[in-house]
Structure 1
Amino acid sequence: MRQAEKNEYPQHKYFSRYIEYSDSQDVIEMLVKQKEEVFFLLKNLTEIQQSYRYAEGKWSIKELVGHITDTERIFSYRSLCIARGEKAPLPGFDENEYMAMSNFSEQSFESLLEQYRLVRESSIALYASMTEEIASRMGNANGFEVSARAYAWAIAGHEAHHISILKERYLS
């Protein structure tokens, strides 16, 4: 699947940054490698590390994993809707409101990682099944015109952004 062109996604500071954060020519390969990297980085953390916050008001590692998973669920759902020709605008979401309503801190880290794995494998299967024609279909999400393909790259870029933060601020 080729990378989304600038006219296929909003030139919004977050969305465009995530697409530009994607450093691969093959989004499926990037999604697979990221999954491996996440498990390599997180599989042996202690409970104290899992609950670590690098500053007051910041998310713990458990919450960060939950956020990455939630965002991927939402982005892949939007992508599926657009790929299937949905005409209705798809809603946005506020990650801070979603976090406030989550219970990630109370879930086991193993469960959070398993949810992450399952969602990632589902996304990989979804994007691997798309032809270029399907991937280039346009729809409206969060008030912006966007292609199904753009969400694959946004998922990869969003995770790359958070892996970088994880390495710099949580695991350094």
Structure 2
Amino acid sequence: KLGAALQLAAAAHGLRRAPRLMLSTAIDSPQLIGPWHPVLLLPARGLQRMDDDQLDMALTHELVHLQRRDLWLGLVPALAQHLFFFHPLVHLAAREYGIAREAAVDAAVVAGNRHCRHHYGRLLLQLGVAPRPGAGLASASPSFLSLKRRLLMLQDTPSFPRAGAVLILAVVALVGVAPLRLVAMP
């Protein structure tokens, strides 16, 4: 059943072949590992709590990581952290990259389906917080802060209109430039 679901989801995402699938008792959330020969790890304990829709969303999430080549791209911040371990901004940038990567994949999973956001958010809460097993690996939220940010990004908030953004920018420019002009006058 799992293998067939994975093959179907991989074909739907245009992947030539699905990653190898393994169950593990050592993890609490689905993880994708291995850039050369990807393996999709599913939590043996958590799998019983997932219904078919949740399993489909979890598989889709990991396959989107594979489709986006996140395992390869995740090596860049991991390498930077190893080379510049002493620099605090490198660790901050790597953390923000991980959160942005997860947010982009979350957005791809729920794209075009407003009702899916609610169910996907519940899945994220069910999976909870799981520390990253290693640098560059695609996995669950490594902290409560990142989980909270992912859930907030799932909220269906209306986007700010472009005309409003232009108006605010014009007002800020006028307010910022007008005093400079008045001071520069002889």
Question: Do the two structures share a fold, i.e. TM-score over 0.5?
Answer: no
Question: Which structure is richer in relative contact order (CA contacts within 8 A, separation 6 or more)?
Answer: 1
Q: Select the structure of larger CA radius of gyration.
A: 2
The TM-score with structure 2 as length reference comes to 0.27
